[in-house]
Structure formats: structure tokens, C-alpha cells
């Protein structure tokens, strides 16, 4: 029996549609949290969708009931978690005892301990009881035979006459009666079932009542008790629910034998009354007869692959976490899997035949319909099928962000469509958190840049005054200082002041670039001219350090779009570092080139002390200096500022270096920043 449930934000269970049959169960657990520490509790804590989780839960102090639960988290209109919703199944055989719990007994009893008729088992000479006659009618009806005798009369014929008289089956060769199986209502019924060329399994609540000898032989079991003790129906169907199989579905199923191998049998499911209670009867037939299967296309590695039944495909879809809908050409729902039922908290029977847009919010319906209409065409829209983001709407008004993918099924004359709906609530929450974190980081960066800009301006004004007064005193414009040491002190003051001023200027430039307020004027720039000018400016510095500066510039290099002032600063920074960290007798080579892809590259290569990978990462961080560079001084902002200026000019910078093998710095301008040749 199916029931609907949901939880509030605190995890308390509620049953919105109380069922009289299940009032004891619902009364015990309504308003309580899920009492077990199992897969369901883990899913509830993690706020994750779960489908078809089977469990046992106490109904009273002496009785357990078996449940199969499915559920999904709900996101309210405010975008916050609003509890779970879902549905569940409770075993029918047990649910019939839930109303009156005055006489509670253990619902799970071994088949060998059950007497389905409730009286001493009759022998063949005593004839058939009313329950046995009813069972024969159900079996005959399931097999498609018409009885030619009145089963209300006692059957006194032999076993062979009983087989041909009741079922009218042709070419049935009688064989020796098989040993009696525990759980058969009589020797006569057991012998008849054992002589059938079909497998018969009658069960209630997952417990086998009757299992004939052909089926036991096909599956490799000795007795019905042996079958039940080794896992029974759950093992046979691999944990799937055979009750979900339609009575009209006669396709092949892969069943698990005792030895673990799989056997393909055609299966038909019927419901009958056994001992005045409903029971399930499954009839199995070997695959030598004609059955409907879905054959895969082609042959894999020269071997035919086994067919897959419609039931198998349905079971696979029910285990998927995504909701799957099958639609007709007008968008009406033909079927949906269990995950879709859990996702929207509805029963597929309640909305069967309605358009699938009833599952979507009002603002998403037109987008979904346009998607479906595009698949009906044979144009670009049907080929570029990249899915759509839509908002689902549950029965209680909750909204779920979904990613919907649709595909075409069936033939051109009778097209069908499959819609796959994936809950992206977790992704949306992560995306929201990421956007908020990025905004917070951008805000913090902007505040830092503003702070640095303000401090730089405040420091630069008095610092300029200090440097100016120191220069006047150093030049003795208003008279002699009187002591030679004062001149040395003034030299130190001037050098320190200029160093601090350089630091302030670099800080101001870096803060402007990070804040996006750098004063850049883009225009046509001759790269070779900028490189030649930088080399001339630093030639005297190179001569003092006995470093050779060489130029290797490509002629007819096209101009680029850049800010000339900042490109000059970039070149001077890189070239001065190369000269500074190259020992006497070393070389610095400046080159320019254009690649076949249309890029313009500036290279500065030296034969200096070089850096390791860790040193490069350190040098690119603000206010960090490599240990070997401290002897050269500096502010620690040279490379970070250079990299920021390069990126502000829409270019990229790469550094390749190794200890004692020199350094190569490359500035690459993409083709979009390179002007055409004239």
C-alpha cells in the first residue's frame, strides 16, 4: 500500500493524507524524527534525494513492518531548505493487520510452518478443498486454458486425467511424480504442479508458499525451504520489486540461480486469493517459446548479446536518481519513473495523460514547450540539443531548480519524447555561495586598493618636501654646512627618500591597476622603438656592471595596440632586473618576433643567477623577494607590478628559469592586439 509523507525543516515526519488502514503506523511516527540510523537518516541529514530504500521499522513492541521509502528535499519560495517530501510502500500482507493490533504475531514465518488452508492437509483420495479449486482456476486462467469440467465437483480422476481435464494442454507427457515439496496444500496439487512444463511460484509478502519442481530445477534449489533460506525472492530478482511488473508484460527477465549464474525466463504475474487473502502467482516459461524482448543492435565481438526486457529497462530507470518522463507528441505524460514521483511528491497515476508542464512553474512552461517544439522540427534546434534550466513545482508549492534534457523516441509517424529532469539544487546553492564569496573578495580588494591609493598620496606629499629640502642642504645653496659628515648624511637621506618614493609610486600604480582605474591610453605602438629606447636608457647601468646588452629585433614587425607609457615601464623593469642579476661578463639579449599564429612576442634573456620554480612564485608575490636578490635592493614590487601592467595591456607574461642557467621572460600580445601589416 502506498502512502505520502513529508518532513518540516526540523525533520519531523507528517502524513498529509491519513489512511484509516495505516492509522496505527501514522499515529506512532507523526510528529517524530526518523527513528533509525540507516541510509534514510543519512540521506535526510545530507539533504539528498533517495529512491526505493527498503527498511524495517517497529510498529509495536512486538511487530516490525517492511517499508520502501523515496523522498527528495524541498526548496521553499525563499530559496531555503523546507523539509523533505516523498511517498512510501508498506507491505500489504502486514498492513491488513495494522488497524487492529490486539493480536499481533510475527508476519515472517517459514513456508514449511505455514498451512495456507488452515486445516489438516487433505490427501488425494479426499479430493480438493475450496481453496485448492480456486487456485486451480487461477492457474488455468493464467495459462489461457478453459476448464472442461466443473471444479465444484470433487476431482477423483488420476493425476494424468487431472492435468488434461483441468488445463486442456496438448502434448503433455506424464512423468513420475516428483517428491512432495514443503508448503504444498496437498499431494495431488503438488504432483499436478510438478508435472507442468512451466515454473509456478505463489507467494505473499515476499514469502514463498508454493514452488513447483521445474522452477526449483531451473534455479538449482532442492526444496522451497532451501530456496527461502538462501535469500528467496529478493535474491531471485536481484532486489527488484516483482510486484511492479505488469500482468501484461511477458518479456524475458534475467533471474539469478543458486550458483550465481543468470537464466532468462519469460515471466507472467497474476494475483489470486489464497486462504482468503491476496497472493501473487508468477508463471515462468523457458525462452524457447516466443517472448517479446528488446534486442540490441549488432553483434559485439562476434557474440550475440542477450536481450533486455521492458521490465529490465523499467527497473534500471527506477534505480536512476534523475526523473524520467515519457511524453507523446503533444507533451502529455505517458509514464514516469519512481525518481520523478519522489522528485515532485506525486503519484504517476494522478497526473497520467496531463501535459508535462503541470510539473513546472509558470515562468518555465513556455521555455519547456519551445524546447519540445524545437525537437519536433528537423532543423538546427533538434540537433543543438543542449538542455534547458527550468523550475519545477511540487504539489505543496515548493520550487525545485532542474536541468531538463529531452530526446526523441519512437517513429516519425508516432513520435514520443523522453524528458530527463535532474535536481540541481545542490549546484545552485554552491553557485550562490561562490558568487557571494567572489563579491566579498572583490569588495575587500577594492577597499584595499582604495586604502593603498589614499596612503600613497598622503605619504608622497611630505616625502617630496623632505627630498627637496635635503637637496637644498646638500647643494649648500644658503651657506656651508660646516662639517663634512653632514654632506654624507644628506646623501643617505636623499637615497632613502628616493627609494621610499619609488615604493609609493609602485604601490599607487599597483592599486590603480587592481581597482581597474589605471590611466592607460591605448594606441598604435612600435614595439622595436620601445625596446631600443629602453636599451639606450639602461646602457650606462650595464656598462658599470660589465654586462653586454644585445638586440635581435625582427624587421617589419607590425605595430600593436597598447599603452606606450606602461609598455616602456614593463620593458625597463624586466631589463633592469636582467642586468642587476647577471654577473660581470654576462649577456642580456633583447629580441622581438612574430609567430605564424600572428602573435607578437618580446623576449628578454639573461645569463644570470636564475631562479627555481619556487623562487619564481615568490618573486611574483607583492613585497616578497628571492633570497639571492636581496643584495640588489628593490621594493619587492617590480615583477608583480610588471605582471599587472602586462595583463592591463591584454597580454600575458611567462617566466622560464633555472638556478645558475639564466632567465627568459616572454611578453606575448595575442593576434587581436596586433595591427595588420601596412
What are the chain's domains?
A: 2-95 (3.30.450.20), 117-286 (3.30.450.20), 320-423 (3.30.450.20), 428-514 (1.10.287.130), 522-673 (3.30.565.10)
Lowest-pLDDT choice from 133-137, 240-244, 539-543, 609-613: 240-244
pLDDT per residue over 481-521, tens digit each?
777 788 788 888 888 887 777 777 777 777 667 666 667 78
Comparison of pLDDT for 196 and 116, the residue scoring more:
196
- The 3-state DSSP class for residue 371 equals helix
Q: Where residue 131 falls among pLDDT bands split at 50, 70, 90?
A: low
Angstrom distance (rounded) from CA 629 to CA 580? 9
Rounded alpha-carbon distances, angstroms, from residue 269 to 95, 138, 167, 471, 666: 22, 11, 18, 105, 75
Q: Show the cell assigned to 338.
A: 519512481
252 strand-pairing partners: 266
Residue 16 · residue 25 · CB < 8 Å: no
> Which residues on adjacent β-strands are paired with residue 3?
88
Q: Give the total residue count for the chain.
A: 678
C-beta contacts of 254-261 below 8 A and 24+ residues apart: 254/306, 254/312, 255/219, 255/284, 257/218, 257/219, 257/220, 258/219, 258/220, 258/221, 258/230, 259/220
- State the pLDDT at residue 355: 87
Q: Taking the mean position of all CA atoms in its chain, how far away is CA 303?
A: 34
The answer to whether 30 and 58 are in contact (CB under 8 A) is no
CA pair distance 540, 286, nearest whole angstrom: 98
Do residues 148 and 168 make contact, with C-beta atoms less than 8 angstroms apart? yes
Q: Which of 386, 131, 411 has its CA nearest to residue 276?
A: 131
Q: Looking at the predicted structure, is the pLDDT value of residue 471 above 80?
A: yes
pLDDT for 633: 52
State whether residue 77 is helix, strand or coil: coil
Distance between CA atoms of residues 12 and 132, nearest Å: 48
Of the candidates 646, 667, 666, 665, the residue with the CA atom closest to the CA atom of residue 510: 646
Instruction: Report pLDDT for 499.
Output: 75
In the block, cell 534505480 appears at 319
Compute CA 187 distance to the chain's CA centroid, rounded to the nearest angstrom. Answer: 56
Determine how many CB atoms are found less than 10 A away from the CB of residue 406: 21
Percent of the chain scoring above 70 in pLDDT: 72
Q: What does the DSSP 8-state code read for residue 652?
A: E
Lowest mean pLDDT among 152-161, 357-366, 418-427: 152-161
**Which one, of 1, 4, 2, 3, lies nearest residue 394 by Cα?**
4
Query: How many CA atoms within 13 Å lie on the side-chain side of 201?
Result: 30
Give me the pLDDT at residue 308, please. Answer: 52
* Sheet strands side by side (includes 81-90): 13-14, 2-7, 81-90, 64-75, 50-58
Amino acid at each position: 500500500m502506498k502512502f505520502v509523507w513529508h518532513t518540516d525543516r526540523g525533520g519531523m515526519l507528517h502524513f498529509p493524507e491519513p489512511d484509516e488502514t495505516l492509522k496505527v503506523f501514522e499515529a506512532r511516527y507523526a510528529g517524530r524524527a526518523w527513528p533509525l540510523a540507516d541510509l534514510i537518516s543519512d540521506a535526510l541529514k545530507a539533504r539528498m534525494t533517495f529512491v526505493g530504500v527498503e527498511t524495517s521499522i517497529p510498529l509495536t513492541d512486538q511487530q516490525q513492518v517492511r517499508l520502501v521509502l523515496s523522498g527528495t528535499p524541498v526548496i521553499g519560495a525563499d530559496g531555503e531548505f523546507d523539509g523533505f517530501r516523498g511517498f512510501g510502500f508498506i507491505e500489504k500482507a502486514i498492513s491488513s493487520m495494522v488497524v487492529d493490533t490486539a493480536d499481533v504475531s510475527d508476519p515472517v514465518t517459514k513456508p514449511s510452518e505455514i498451512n495456507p488452508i488452515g486445516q489438516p492437509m487433505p490427501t488425494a483420495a479426499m479430493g480438493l478443498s475450496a481453496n485448492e479449486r480456486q487456485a486451480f482456476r487461477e492457474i488455468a486462467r493464467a495459462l489461457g486454458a478453459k476448464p472442461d469440467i466443473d471444479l465444484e465437483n470433487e476431482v477423483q480422476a488420476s493425476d494424468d486425467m487431472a492435468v488434461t481435464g483441468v488445463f486442456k494442454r496438448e502434448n503433455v507427457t506424464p512423468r513420475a511424480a516428483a517428491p512432495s515439496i514443503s508448503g504444498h496444500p496437498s499431494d495431488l496439487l503438488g504432483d499436478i504442479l510438478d508435472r507442468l512444463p512451466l515454473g509456478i511460484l505463489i507467494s505473499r509478502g515476499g514469502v514463498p508458499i508454493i514452488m513447483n519442481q521445474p522452477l526449483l530445477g531451473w534455479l538449482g534449489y532442492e526444496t522451497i525451504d532451501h530456496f527461502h533460506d538462501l535469500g528467496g525472492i529478493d535474491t531471485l530478482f536481484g532486489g527488484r520489486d516483482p510486484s511492479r511488473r505488469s500482468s501484461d508484460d511477458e518479456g524475458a527477465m534475467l533471474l539469478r540461480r543458486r550458483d550465481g549464474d543468470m537464466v532468462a525466463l519469460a515471466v507472467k504475474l497474476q494475483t489470486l486469493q489464497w486462504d482468503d487473502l491476496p497472493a501473487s502467482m508468477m508463471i515462468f516459461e523457458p525462452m524457447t517459446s516466443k517472448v517479446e524482448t528488446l534486442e540490441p543492435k549488432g553483434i559485439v565481438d562476434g557474440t550475440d548479446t542477450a536481450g533486455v526486457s521492458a521490465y529490465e529497462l523499467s527497473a534500471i530507470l527506477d534505480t536512476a536518481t534523475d526523473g524520467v518522463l515519457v511524453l507523446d507528441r503533444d507533451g502529455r505524460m505517458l509514464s514516469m519513473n519512481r525518481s520523478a514521483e519522489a522528485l515532485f511528491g506525486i503519484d504517476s497515476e494522478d497526473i497520467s495523460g496531463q501535459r508535462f508542464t503541470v510539473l513546472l512553474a509558470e515562468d518555465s512552461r513556455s521555455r519547456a514547450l519551445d524546447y519540445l517544439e524545437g525537437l519536433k522540427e528537423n532543423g538546427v534546434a533538434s540537433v543543438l540539443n543542449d538542455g534547458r534550466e527550468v523550475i519545477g513545482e511540487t504539489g505543496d508549492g515548493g520550487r525545485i531548480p532542474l536541468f531538463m534534457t529531452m530526446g526523441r523516441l519512437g517513429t516519425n509517424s508516432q513520435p514520443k519524447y523522453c524528458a530527463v529532469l535532474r535536481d540541481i539544487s545542490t549546484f545552485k546553492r554552491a553557485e550562490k555561495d561562490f558568487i557571494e564569496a567572489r563579491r566579498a573578495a572583490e569588495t575587500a580588494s577594492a577597499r584595499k586598493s582604495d586604502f593603498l591609493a589614499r596612503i600613497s598620496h598622503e605619504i608622497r606629499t611630505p616625502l617630496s618636501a623632505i627630498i627637496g629640502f635635503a637637496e637644498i642642504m646638500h647643494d649648500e645653496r644658503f651657506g656651508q654646512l660646516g662639517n663634512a659628515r653632514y654632506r654624507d648624511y644628506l646623501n643617505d637621506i636623499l637615497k632613502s627618500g628616493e627609494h621610499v618614493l619609488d615604493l609609493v609610486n609602485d604601490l599607487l600604480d599597483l592599486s590603480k591597476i587592481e581597482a581597474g582605474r589605471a590611466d592607460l591610453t591605448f594606441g598604435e605602438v612600435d614595439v622595436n622603438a620601445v625596446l631600443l629606447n629602453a636599451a639606450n636608457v639602461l646602457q650606462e647601468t650595464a656598462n658599470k656592471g660589465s654586462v653586454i646588452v644585445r638586440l635581435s629585433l625582427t624587421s617589419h614587425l607590425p605595430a600593436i595596440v597598447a599603452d606606450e607609457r606602461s609598455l616602456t615601464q614593463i620593458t625597463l623593469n624586466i631589463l633592469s632586473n636582467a642586468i642587476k642579476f647577471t654577473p660581470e661578463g654576462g649577456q642580456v639579449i633583447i629580441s622581438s618576433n612574430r609567430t605564424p599564429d600572428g602573435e607578437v612576442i618580446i623576449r628578454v634573456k639573461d645569463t644570470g643567477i636564475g631562479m627555481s620554480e619556487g623562487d619564481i612564485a615568490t618573486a611574483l608575490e607583492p613585497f616578497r623577494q628571492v633570497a639571492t636578490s636581496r643584495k640588489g635592493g628593490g621594493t619587492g614590487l617590480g615583477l608583480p607590478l610588471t605582471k599587472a601592467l602586462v595583463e592591463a595591456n591584454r597580454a600575458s607574461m611567462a617566466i622560464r628559469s633555472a638556478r645558475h642557467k639564466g632567465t627568459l621572460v616572454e611578453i606575448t600580445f595575442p593576434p587581436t592586439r596586433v595591427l595588420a601589416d601596412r
